[in-house]
Structures are given as C-alpha cells and as structure tokens.
Amino acid sequence: MENTRLLVTAMAAHCRELIGESNAPDAGLPPALQPKHLAWMCRTIESCADDWSLARLHRWIGFVQCGMLANRMLDLEGAKAMFNAAKTAFGEASEDLVDHLDPNSSFEVDVGGEG
C-alpha cells in the first residue's frame, strides 16, 4: 500500500478510536453526521483503501473529520495533529490532493464553467 493510502487508513483508524471513546450527545445532526455512521465510514475506509481512488479516500476521511468537528469530538488543532502524527508514522503523502494542507500553497478551487 502506498504512503497516501497508509496515511489515510491510519487517520481512519484513529478517527474510529476517537469516535468509539466519545460520548458525543445527539446534537440534532443529520444521520450522516451521527457517530455510528462516521464509525462505519472509518471501517469502510480501512477495508477499501486498496481498491478506492485517492480522491475518494480523501473525500471520505475529510467528511469523517468534518463530522467529528460537528460533533465536537475533534477541533481543528486536533485534526492537524492527527495528520502530522500519521505523516510521521507513514511518511509524506504523495503530491496528489495534498496541496491544500500547505499553508504556503496558493491552492485554488476550479469550479469550472468559467469563460
């Protein structure tokens, strides 16, 4: 498994552990943001990482982390620390889809359809 897949898988495992340890109350969030669903997403990432595209892995782990933020299980500093810990353990991610993590990057979103 390449570094990026290992990194995302490690983050999913860590997220799953934090979700399991959390006593987050039902904050009236939609079902997709409930802890049970987020834990399922983590398990799915872990089991499908070899078969999925990097873009899909990034979307899923990003959604999980946003769901954890919404449930107050994680804050922005915690998400950054999680990424840094995984990066230390598994090495840098490939250049694919990670330029948004560099604060010095001029990352821009191209929404298309512009003349």
Q: Is residue 83 part of a domain?
A: yes
Q: Is residue 79 part of a domain?
A: yes
Residue pLDDT tens, the chain, 115 long: 578 888 899 999 999 999 999 887 777 899 999 999 999 999 999 999 999 999 899 999 999 999 999 999 988 888 888 878 777 776 665 544 454 555 565 545 444 444 4
Number of domains in the chain: 1
Domain boundaries, position 60? 3-95
Q: What is the pTM of this model?
A: 0.74
Contacts of the segment 74-79: beta carbons below 8 A, 24+ positions apart: 74/15, 74/18
- How far, in Å, CA of 104 to CA of 89, rounded? 23
Q: Is residue 35 part of a domain?
A: yes
Q: Is residue 110 part of a domain?
A: no
Q: Is residue 19 part of a domain?
A: yes
Q: Is residue 105 part of a domain?
A: no
